[in-house]
Amino acid sequence: MIEIDNLTKTYGAGPQAYQALRGVTATVRANEFFTLLGPSGCGKTTLLRMIAGFETPTSGKLLLDGQDVSASPPYRRPVNTVFQSYALFPHMTCAENIGFGLKMLGKPKAEITRTVGEMLDLVQMTPMANRRPSQLSGGQQQRIALARALAPKPKVLLLDEPLSALDYKLRKDMQIELKRIQKDTGITFVFVTHDQEEALTMSDRIAIMNAGTIRQIGSPRDIYDQPAERFVADFIGETNFLTVGLLGVAGQTARVALPSGRELDLRAPGELPKGPQVTMAIRPEHLELVAADAGQLSGRLSNIVYFGTDTHFHVDLGEGGALVVRSQNKPDQMPRLTAGEAVGISVLPGTGQVLRD
């Protein structure tokens, strides 16, 4: 278990000082696949390096299984890293690379040999044991880097965008394999990515980061279905934002007035701004095209984009803004719509929510 307690990190000093982490608090549970997801420069690597011990926090605490490790050097932490660049030792064979951590821990030779064998097996690289890293492909190097980090059986494995250098097919395979290895070993994984699909499919929980802070932590479902704020809704998946009038709030439900004048009940997690206008967020797949005079909203089709499995209909709501409606393509009922046509939009019951900005 990792407890991250109000960590901050400021690089540099004086006028060049840059605050890369602005008070990050989170708890990573044991045996969890925990993902840090966020736009470039939001501080993911910085947080990971801090857990590994390569950076010292400017303030805040870091607890590993209840022990404060904020001041321990990397070699005293039961944490291993799969580096983005792999950082395999070029002067050692794959087997020696994998055995390095155990050797440093002073394990007996027989045990090292056995564990290295197991690890090679785990990542299916046994035939490459005596090759140098330079003689391996990117995907193979990645496996060796993974095996090397797993061999000392750390409590926590940190992975900084380990799959970003791989091509699409290999990445898909490695995603499944990583997930399998995580389950088999029961090691806590802290995984960094900026690929949201990767995050959604692999993680037990995701932390969405922005500008040095964590915006929301939750299961992939929570994050996707109940984004806590506009940034999260916008970052994960596609979301329509619509300015609506706030009529009243009752518990977790808000009654709003759509641009068309119709009223609608929406989920309203958390506090809402007091003003008369609020933002409504709704996923494109939660909208449906209907006849021009039916549905809660109406507008004109401005664009139709075909995506194979589904089609995106861009609808211009006039004064009220614009929306994207996604509908799955089914062979028997291909919508025969053309741009410029007037359409109605209906909101699927129980979807959509009001968000704080």
Ligand X SMILES: Nc1ncnc2c1ncn2[C@@H]1O[C@H](COP(=O)(O)OP(=O)(O)OP(=O)(O)O)[C@@H](O)[C@H]1O
194 contributes a contact to ligand X by CB under 6 A: yes
What is the four-CA torsion angle of 145, 148, 153, 154, rounded to 10 degrees?
Answer: -60
Question: For the CA atoms of the chain, what is the radius of gyration?
Answer: 25
Structure token pair of residue 275 = 């003003």
Interface pick for another protein out of 53, 259, 284, 352 (rule CB under 8 A): 53
Place of tokens 């009529």: 247
- Among positions 264-293, residues that touch another protein (CB under 8 A) are none
- The answer to whether 64 and 78 have CB atoms below 8 angstroms apart is yes
Q: Distance between CA atoms of 254 and 274, rounded to whole angstroms?
A: 12
Residue 306: phi and psi, rounded to 5, are -95, 130
In the complex with another protein, which residue's Cβ is closer, 91 or 221? Answer: 91
Interface pick for another protein out of 6, 68, 71, 89 (rule CB under 8 A): 89
- Residue 63's alpha-carbon distances to 28, 30, 72, 152, in angstroms, are 10, 13, 11, 20
Rounded to 5°, the CA angle 144-44-6 comes to: 125
Q: At what angle do helices 94-104 and 138-150 cross, to 10 degrees?
A: 20
Identify each DSSP E strand in 65-141 by its residue range. 67-68, 79-82
Interface pattern 151-190 for another protein (x via CB under 8 A): -x--------------------------------------
Q: Distance between CA atoms of 275 and 296, rounded to whole angstroms?
A: 23
Which partner from the list ligand X, another protein, Mg ion, none does 104 bind, CB cut-off 5 to 8 Å by kind? another protein
In the complex with ligand X, which residue's Cβ is closer, 41 or 138? Answer: 41
Place of tokens 């090679």: 120
Closest CA to 33 of 137, 246, 175: 175
Please, what is the minimum distance in Å from the beta carbon of residue 55 to another protein? Answer: 11
In the complex with another protein, which residue's Cβ is closer, 154 or 218? Answer: 154
- The answer to whether 335 and 289 have CB atoms below 8 angstroms apart is yes
CA 352 to chain CA mean position, Å: 21
- Among positions 93-112, residues that touch another protein (CB under 8 A) are 100-101, 104-105
Please, what is the minimum distance in Å from the beta carbon of residue 85 to another protein? Answer: 6
**Binding range to another protein, per CB under 8 A, among 46-54, 191-199, 318-326, 339-347:** 46-54
- The answer to whether 208 and 216 have CB atoms below 8 angstroms apart is yes
- Among positions 31-70, residues that touch ligand X (CB under 6 A) are 38, 40-46
Interface pattern 23-62 for Mg ion (x via CB under 5 A): ----------------------x-----------------
Closest CA to 72 of 94, 89, 87, 57: 57
Interface pattern 120-149 for another protein (x via CB under 8 A): ----------------------------xx
In the complex with another protein, which residue's Cβ is closer, 150 or 178? Answer: 150
11 contributes a contact to another protein by CB under 8 A: no
103 contributes a contact to ligand X by CB under 6 A: no
In the complex with Mg ion, which residue's Cβ is closer, 24 or 254? Answer: 24
CA 223 to chain CA mean position, Å: 9
Interface pick for ligand X out of 6, 18, 78, 253 (rule CB under 6 A): 18
* Residue 331 per-residue DSSP state: G
- Among positions 215-234, residues that touch ligand X (CB under 6 A) are none
**Binding range to ligand X, per CB under 6 A, among 11-19, 26-34, 223-231, 250-258:** 11-19
Chain residues binding another protein by CB under 8 A are 52-54, 73-75, 79-81, 83, 85, 87-91, 100-101, 104-105, 148-149, 152
Chain residues binding ligand X by CB under 6 A are 11-12, 18, 20, 38, 40-46, 194
